[in-house]
Structure 1
Amino acid sequence: MNYANAIFPGPEQTAAFFGGGEDGAFVMVNLLKFKDRAEYPDGSEPSLSGREAYARYGAAVQACLAAVGGKSLYAGAVTDLLLGEVEDLWDMVALAQYPSRAAMMAMVQSPEYQAIEKHRVAGLAGQLNIRTKPIGG
Protein backbone atom coordinates (compact mmCIF):
# COMPACT_ATOMS: atom_id res chain seq x y z
CA MET A 1 0.00 0.00 0.00
CA ASN A 2 1.37 3.37 -0.99
CA TYR A 3 0.30 6.60 0.68
CA ALA A 4 1.21 10.24 0.40
CA ASN A 5 0.67 12.75 3.18
CA ALA A 6 -0.53 16.17 2.03
CA ILE A 7 -1.48 19.52 3.53
CA PHE A 8 -4.30 20.34 1.09
CA PRO A 9 -6.30 18.20 -1.32
CA GLY A 10 -5.77 18.84 -5.01
CA PRO A 11 -8.55 20.34 -7.13
CA GLU A 12 -9.67 16.91 -8.38
CA GLN A 13 -9.80 15.46 -4.85
CA THR A 14 -11.72 18.49 -3.59
CA ALA A 15 -14.24 18.33 -6.45
CA ALA A 16 -14.74 14.58 -6.01
CA PHE A 17 -15.16 14.82 -2.23
CA PHE A 18 -17.46 17.83 -2.02
CA GLY A 19 -19.25 16.93 -5.25
CA GLY A 20 -20.13 13.49 -3.92
CA GLY A 21 -23.70 12.69 -3.08
CA GLU A 22 -24.88 14.17 0.20
CA ASP A 23 -25.51 11.28 2.56
CA GLY A 24 -25.46 12.81 6.00
CA ALA A 25 -23.16 12.66 8.98
CA PHE A 26 -19.67 11.20 8.84
CA VAL A 27 -16.52 10.95 10.91
CA MET A 28 -13.24 12.16 9.44
CA VAL A 29 -10.18 10.23 10.57
CA ASN A 30 -7.14 12.52 10.50
CA LEU A 31 -3.69 10.89 10.51
CA LEU A 32 -1.26 13.72 11.26
CA LYS A 33 2.47 14.11 10.76
CA PHE A 34 4.11 17.20 12.27
CA LYS A 35 7.10 19.26 11.22
CA ASP A 36 9.96 19.36 13.70
CA ARG A 37 9.67 23.17 13.79
CA ALA A 38 6.63 25.29 12.93
CA GLU A 39 7.00 27.23 9.70
CA TYR A 40 4.94 30.42 9.58
CA PRO A 41 5.21 32.40 6.32
CA ASP A 42 6.20 35.55 8.21
CA GLY A 43 8.96 33.74 10.10
CA SER A 44 7.28 34.23 13.47
CA GLU A 45 7.44 31.68 16.28
CA PRO A 46 10.78 30.09 15.24
CA SER A 47 11.08 28.14 18.51
CA LEU A 48 7.59 26.61 18.26
CA SER A 49 7.40 22.93 17.33
CA GLY A 50 5.06 21.73 14.61
CA ARG A 51 3.04 19.88 17.26
CA GLU A 52 2.68 23.10 19.29
CA ALA A 53 1.53 25.08 16.24
CA TYR A 54 -1.02 22.39 15.40
CA ALA A 55 -2.22 22.41 19.02
CA ARG A 56 -3.16 26.08 18.55
CA TYR A 57 -5.21 25.08 15.53
CA GLY A 58 -6.72 22.13 17.40
CA ALA A 59 -7.89 24.31 20.27
CA ALA A 60 -9.40 26.96 17.98
CA VAL A 61 -11.05 24.58 15.50
CA GLN A 62 -13.47 23.37 18.21
CA ALA A 63 -15.57 26.54 17.81
CA CYS A 64 -15.51 26.20 14.01
CA LEU A 65 -16.74 22.61 14.26
CA ALA A 66 -19.50 23.58 16.70
CA ALA A 67 -20.63 26.44 14.44
CA VAL A 68 -21.54 23.94 11.69
CA GLY A 69 -22.97 21.28 14.01
CA GLY A 70 -19.81 19.17 14.16
CA LYS A 71 -17.61 18.11 17.04
CA SER A 72 -14.25 16.67 17.91
CA LEU A 73 -14.57 13.07 19.05
CA TYR A 74 -10.98 12.15 19.88
CA ALA A 75 -7.39 13.29 19.56
CA GLY A 76 -4.36 11.33 20.71
CA ALA A 77 -0.66 10.85 20.13
CA VAL A 78 0.40 7.78 18.16
CA THR A 79 2.66 5.74 20.44
CA ASP A 80 3.10 2.24 18.99
CA LEU A 81 2.18 -0.05 16.13
CA LEU A 82 0.83 -3.49 17.05
CA LEU A 83 -0.16 -4.87 13.66
CA GLY A 84 1.07 -4.19 10.16
CA GLU A 85 4.06 -2.26 8.99
CA VAL A 86 4.65 1.32 7.92
CA GLU A 87 7.87 3.08 7.16
CA ASP A 88 7.08 5.95 9.53
CA LEU A 89 4.27 6.28 12.08
CA TRP A 90 1.96 9.27 12.10
CA ASP A 91 2.32 11.52 15.14
CA MET A 92 -1.34 11.93 16.03
CA VAL A 93 -4.82 10.65 15.24
CA ALA A 94 -7.86 12.93 15.48
CA LEU A 95 -11.51 12.13 14.82
CA ALA A 96 -13.99 14.87 13.89
CA GLN A 97 -17.71 14.40 13.26
CA TYR A 98 -19.52 16.49 10.65
CA PRO A 99 -23.26 16.53 9.97
CA SER A 100 -22.68 16.65 6.19
CA ARG A 101 -20.21 17.42 3.41
CA ALA A 102 -21.90 20.83 3.05
CA ALA A 103 -21.27 21.57 6.73
CA MET A 104 -17.58 20.72 6.37
CA MET A 105 -17.34 22.93 3.27
CA ALA A 106 -19.04 25.79 5.13
CA MET A 107 -16.57 25.40 7.98
CA VAL A 108 -13.41 25.46 5.86
CA GLN A 109 -14.70 28.47 3.91
CA SER A 110 -15.64 30.48 7.02
CA PRO A 111 -13.57 33.54 7.97
CA GLU A 112 -13.10 32.06 11.45
CA TYR A 113 -11.55 28.90 10.03
CA GLN A 114 -9.45 30.80 7.52
CA ALA A 115 -8.00 32.84 10.42
CA ILE A 116 -6.76 29.75 12.30
CA GLU A 117 -5.67 27.60 9.37
CA LYS A 118 -2.23 29.24 9.45
CA HIS A 119 -1.43 27.20 12.59
CA ARG A 120 -2.44 23.96 10.85
CA VAL A 121 -0.25 24.74 7.84
CA ALA A 122 2.67 25.89 10.02
CA GLY A 123 2.64 22.69 12.05
CA LEU A 124 1.82 19.92 9.60
CA ALA A 125 4.31 18.05 7.48
CA GLY A 126 1.28 16.27 6.02
CA GLN A 127 -1.79 14.24 6.80
CA LEU A 128 -4.32 11.76 5.53
CA ASN A 129 -8.06 12.48 5.87
CA ILE A 130 -10.25 9.38 5.71
CA ARG A 131 -14.03 9.86 5.58
CA THR A 132 -15.94 7.12 7.40
CA LYS A 133 -19.61 6.20 7.73
CA PRO A 134 -21.15 3.87 10.31
CA ILE A 135 -21.75 0.37 9.00
CA GLY A 136 -25.40 0.14 8.14
CA GLY A 137 -25.68 3.93 8.39
Structure 2
Amino acid sequence: MNVINEVFPSPERAAAFFGGEEDGPFCMVNLLKFKDKATYPDGAEPDLTGREAYLRYGMAVVACVEAVGGKTRFSGMVTDLMLGQVEELWDMVAIAEYPSRAAMLAMVQSPEYQAIEVHRMAGLAGQLNIRTKPMGG
Protein backbone atom coordinates (compact mmCIF):
# COMPACT_ATOMS: atom_id res chain seq x y z
CA MET A 1 0.00 0.00 0.00
CA ASN A 2 1.43 3.32 -1.08
CA VAL A 3 0.47 6.19 1.27
CA ILE A 4 0.90 9.84 0.33
CA ASN A 5 0.16 12.53 2.90
CA GLU A 6 -1.06 15.82 1.43
CA VAL A 7 -1.92 19.25 2.82
CA PHE A 8 -4.58 20.14 0.21
CA PRO A 9 -6.67 18.07 -2.20
CA SER A 10 -6.27 18.72 -5.90
CA PRO A 11 -8.99 20.98 -7.35
CA GLU A 12 -10.42 17.95 -9.18
CA ARG A 13 -10.56 15.83 -6.03
CA ALA A 14 -12.12 18.66 -3.99
CA ALA A 15 -14.75 19.24 -6.71
CA ALA A 16 -15.56 15.52 -6.82
CA PHE A 17 -15.80 15.30 -3.02
CA PHE A 18 -17.96 18.38 -2.45
CA GLY A 19 -20.01 17.66 -5.56
CA GLY A 20 -20.70 14.10 -4.45
CA GLU A 21 -24.11 12.80 -3.50
CA GLU A 22 -25.55 14.34 -0.33
CA ASP A 23 -26.18 11.36 1.88
CA GLY A 24 -26.33 12.89 5.33
CA PRO A 25 -23.95 13.01 8.27
CA PHE A 26 -20.45 11.58 8.08
CA CYS A 27 -17.27 11.52 10.12
CA MET A 28 -13.96 12.65 8.71
CA VAL A 29 -10.99 10.76 10.12
CA ASN A 30 -7.85 12.91 9.94
CA LEU A 31 -4.46 11.19 10.16
CA LEU A 32 -2.01 14.04 10.73
CA LYS A 33 1.75 14.37 10.26
CA PHE A 34 3.47 17.51 11.56
CA LYS A 35 6.51 19.40 10.36
CA ASP A 36 9.46 19.44 12.75
CA LYS A 37 9.39 23.25 12.72
CA ALA A 38 6.43 25.49 11.91
CA THR A 39 6.78 27.44 8.67
CA TYR A 40 4.68 30.59 8.54
CA PRO A 41 4.72 32.48 5.21
CA ASP A 42 5.97 35.64 6.92
CA GLY A 43 8.70 33.81 8.86
CA ALA A 44 6.96 34.41 12.20
CA GLU A 45 7.37 32.07 15.17
CA PRO A 46 10.67 30.44 14.04
CA ASP A 47 10.97 28.48 17.30
CA LEU A 48 7.47 26.99 17.15
CA THR A 49 7.15 23.28 16.33
CA GLY A 50 4.79 22.08 13.66
CA ARG A 51 2.74 20.38 16.36
CA GLU A 52 2.40 23.62 18.33
CA ALA A 53 1.31 25.54 15.23
CA TYR A 54 -1.23 22.87 14.28
CA LEU A 55 -2.65 22.78 17.80
CA ARG A 56 -3.41 26.51 17.49
CA TYR A 57 -5.51 25.59 14.47
CA GLY A 58 -6.98 22.57 16.25
CA MET A 59 -8.21 24.61 19.20
CA ALA A 60 -9.85 27.21 16.94
CA VAL A 61 -11.36 24.82 14.38
CA VAL A 62 -13.75 23.39 16.98
CA ALA A 63 -15.85 26.58 16.80
CA CYS A 64 -15.82 26.42 12.99
CA VAL A 65 -17.05 22.81 12.99
CA GLU A 66 -19.78 23.62 15.52
CA ALA A 67 -20.87 26.73 13.56
CA VAL A 68 -21.97 24.48 10.66
CA GLY A 69 -23.73 21.98 12.91
CA GLY A 70 -20.83 19.56 13.27
CA LYS A 71 -19.09 18.07 16.27
CA THR A 72 -15.52 17.24 17.11
CA ARG A 73 -15.63 13.60 18.18
CA PHE A 74 -12.03 12.77 19.10
CA SER A 75 -8.47 13.99 18.92
CA GLY A 76 -5.34 12.42 20.32
CA MET A 77 -1.64 11.94 19.75
CA VAL A 78 -0.50 8.68 18.16
CA THR A 79 1.65 6.79 20.68
CA ASP A 80 2.51 3.44 19.10
CA LEU A 81 1.41 0.73 16.69
CA MET A 82 0.04 -2.62 17.82
CA LEU A 83 -0.89 -4.22 14.51
CA GLY A 84 0.28 -3.76 10.94
CA GLN A 85 3.28 -1.99 9.49
CA VAL A 86 3.91 1.53 8.24
CA GLU A 87 7.17 3.22 7.39
CA GLU A 88 6.32 6.15 9.65
CA LEU A 89 3.43 6.69 12.06
CA TRP A 90 1.16 9.70 11.89
CA ASP A 91 1.50 12.11 14.81
CA MET A 92 -2.16 12.66 15.63
CA VAL A 93 -5.67 11.42 14.85
CA ALA A 94 -8.70 13.71 14.85
CA ILE A 95 -12.30 12.84 14.04
CA ALA A 96 -14.95 15.43 13.19
CA GLU A 97 -18.61 14.81 12.36
CA TYR A 98 -20.34 16.94 9.73
CA PRO A 99 -24.07 17.01 8.96
CA SER A 100 -23.39 17.07 5.20
CA ARG A 101 -20.81 17.73 2.52
CA ALA A 102 -22.37 21.18 2.07
CA ALA A 103 -21.80 21.95 5.76
CA MET A 104 -18.12 21.01 5.52
CA LEU A 105 -17.74 23.11 2.38
CA ALA A 106 -19.41 26.07 4.12
CA MET A 107 -16.95 25.68 6.98
CA VAL A 108 -13.80 25.65 4.85
CA GLN A 109 -15.06 28.66 2.88
CA SER A 110 -15.98 30.70 5.98
CA PRO A 111 -13.90 33.77 6.93
CA GLU A 112 -13.41 32.30 10.42
CA TYR A 113 -11.86 29.14 8.99
CA GLN A 114 -9.78 31.06 6.46
CA ALA A 115 -8.35 33.15 9.32
CA ILE A 116 -7.03 30.11 11.23
CA GLU A 117 -5.86 28.02 8.29
CA VAL A 118 -2.44 29.70 8.40
CA HIS A 119 -1.68 27.64 11.54
CA ARG A 120 -2.74 24.43 9.80
CA MET A 121 -0.45 25.16 6.85
CA ALA A 122 2.43 26.23 9.11
CA GLY A 123 2.35 23.04 11.16
CA LEU A 124 1.11 20.30 8.87
CA ALA A 125 3.50 18.23 6.77
CA GLY A 126 0.57 16.24 5.38
CA GLN A 127 -2.45 14.19 6.23
CA LEU A 128 -5.02 11.69 5.09
CA ASN A 129 -8.72 12.62 5.28
CA ILE A 130 -10.92 9.54 5.32
CA ARG A 131 -14.69 10.05 5.01
CA THR A 132 -16.65 7.46 6.95
CA LYS A 133 -20.33 6.56 7.25
CA PRO A 134 -21.99 4.44 9.93
CA MET A 135 -22.69 0.83 9.00
CA GLY A 136 -26.13 0.64 7.44
CA GLY A 137 -26.14 4.45 7.03
TM-score normalised over the length of structure 1: 0.99
Specify the alignment match of 1:56 in structure 2.
56
Task: Give, in angstroms, the shift of residue 12 of structure 1.
Answer: 1.3
**Paired residue secondary structure (1:76):** strand
**Paired residue secondary structure (1:21):** coil
% same residue: 75
Task: Give, in angstroms, the shift of residue 108 of structure 1.
Answer: 0.1
Cα distance in 2 between the residues matched to 1:83 and 1:104: 32
Specify the alignment match of 1:26 in structure 2.
26
After TM superposition, the structure 1 = structure 2 runs for residues 1-137 of structure 1, keeping only pairs within 5 Å, are 1-137=1-137
Please list every run of 5 or more consecutive structure 1 residues that lacks an aligned counterpart in the other structure. none
RMSD: 0.5
Cα distance in 2 between the residues matched to 1:60 and 1:77: 18
Cα distance in 2 between the residues matched to 1:133 and 1:97: 10
Partner letter of residue 50 of structure 1? G
TM-score normalised over the length of structure 2: 0.99
Please list every run of 5 or more consecutive structure 2 residues that lacks an aligned counterpart in the other structure. none
Partner letter of residue 37 of structure 1? K
Q: Across the two proteins, how many residue pairs are aligned to each other?
A: 137
